[in-house]
Amino acid sequence: MVAKAAAPISAKAARKLAAETPLGLKRRVRRMARLLAEAHPDAHCELNHSNPLELSVATILSAQSTDKLVNEVTPKLFARYRTAADYAGADRAELEDLLRPTGFFRNKTDSLIKLGQALVERFDGEVPKRIEYLVTLPGIGRKTANVILGNAFGVPGITVDTHFQRLVHRWRWTDETDPVKIESVVGQLVARRDWTMLSHRVIFHGRRVCHARKPACGACTLARDCPSYGVGPTDPAVAAGLLKGPRVAELAELAELAGAPVP
Ligand code: SF4
């Protein structure tokens, strides 16, 4: 998927960015990463799983779906299909029926059966722990591979999904639009050990604060460091109404403490 380039920013923000050195950018990114950690202490992988195979399956099912829908389907699925061999030998009609609520269920059924077969044939039925092997598996692209590495194996990985792309563009961490290049640029700006958690926090920020259509700029703790401050409402009362999720009050309070950018 190719991301859109970032929306225009104010002349003042553009001047500030033009004067930003590579070291200045790195410092700003790390400051923002710390603020994100403070704002989203509950950030985590929202796909329920208890082993690498379950996470691989859940991540494949999450394409064009929501984590909530996937989590509704997986308890029954995981109870019925416990090993790669179970997926390899699955009855297509039965599996399709289980996956139907997640959408694109025929393609997903196909991917899961092929995934099971590939794991049995090439990896002894185990999900491999290396990205170069993971991306050779049916239904698993680089984004999915990084989710699996980071959350099932504890190997740091950056997950460049649509939220991540939108936010790093708004923040002008990079102008790259190719997810692999974005991953590489951000990977150099942030310590490797922080990659997985940063991915979760950025995605949480995208879901709860920095929405695609109406970002809650006036209730955003990153406002001082964000070149796109002002693309959404800056009035704190209006912006607070745009916040989503279970931590609305805490997010609004953190933003108030951080203060708005100096005009
Ligand atoms: S200030 Fe606005 S554009 Fe910037 S991160 Fe916050 S909500 Fe998003």
User: How does DSSP classify residue 193?
Assistant: G
CA contacts within 13 A on the Cβ side of 71: 9
Identify the residues whose C-beta falls under 6 Å from ligand 1.
170, 209-210, 215-217, 220, 222-223, 226, 228-229, 231-232
For residue 40, report the distance from its CA to the centre of ligand 1, in Å.
15
For residue 202, report the distance from its CA to the centre of ligand 1, in Å.
11
pLDDT digits (tens, 9 = 90+) for 164-217: 999 999 999 999 999 999 999 999 999 999 999 999 999 999 999 999 999 999
12 carries an active-site annotation: no
For residue 235, report the distance from its CA to the centre of ligand 1, in Å.
13
Mean pLDDT of the region 3-27: 84
The preferred substitution site among 167, 168, 211, 217 for testing ligand 1, maximizing ligand atoms within 8 Å of CB, is 217
pLDDT digits (tens, 9 = 90+) for 112-126: 999 999 999 999 999
143 carries an active-site annotation: yes
Residue appearing with tokens 């049916």? 138
- Tell if the pTM clears 0.85, that is, is over it: yes
Q: Is 215 left (phi over 0), alpha (psi -120 to 50) or beta?
A: beta
Q: Is the pLDDT score of 260 beyond 80?
A: no
Q: Is the pLDDT score of 239 beyond 80?
A: yes
Query: Is 77:55 a contact under the CB 8 Å cutoff?
Result: no
Burial 221-251 (b: 16+ CB within 10 A, else e): bbbbbbbbbbbbbbebeebbebbeeebbebb
pLDDT of residue 4: 58
The preferred substitution site among 225, 228, 251 for testing ligand 1, maximizing ligand atoms within 8 Å of CB, is 228
Which pair of structure tokens corresponds to residue 50? 């208890």
pLDDT of residue 259: 82
Mean pLDDT of the region 148-155: 95
pLDDT of residue 11: 86
Report the chain's mean pLDDT, rounded to a whole number.
Answer: 94
- The closest of 22, 71, 29 to 202, measured between CA atoms, is 29
Q: Which helix (H) or strand (E) holds 254?
A: helix 248-258
Query: Is 180:223 a contact under the CB 8 Å cutoff?
Result: no
How many of the other CB atoms lie within 10 Å of CB of 101? 13
- The closest of 81, 12, 20, 43 to 164, measured between CA atoms, is 43
For residue 79, report the distance from its CA to the centre of ligand 1, in Å.
41
pLDDT of residue 261: 83
Mean pLDDT of the region 137-148: 93
Confidence of residue 258 (pLDDT cuts 50, 70, 90): confident
Closest-lying ligand 1 atom to the alpha carbon of residue 239: 7
Q: Is the pLDDT score of 1 beyond 80?
A: no
Q: Is the pLDDT score of 10 beyond 90?
A: no
- The closest of 66, 78, 43, 93 to 203, measured between CA atoms, is 43
pLDDT of residue 5: 58
Query: Is 161:203 a contact under the CB 8 Å cutoff?
Result: yes
For residue 60, report the distance from its CA to the centre of ligand 1, in Å.
30
pLDDT of residue 2: 44
More confident residue, 76 or 18: 76
The preferred substitution site among 210, 238, 244, 248 for testing ligand 1, maximizing ligand atoms within 8 Å of CB, is 210
Name the percent of the chain lying above pLDDT 70.
97
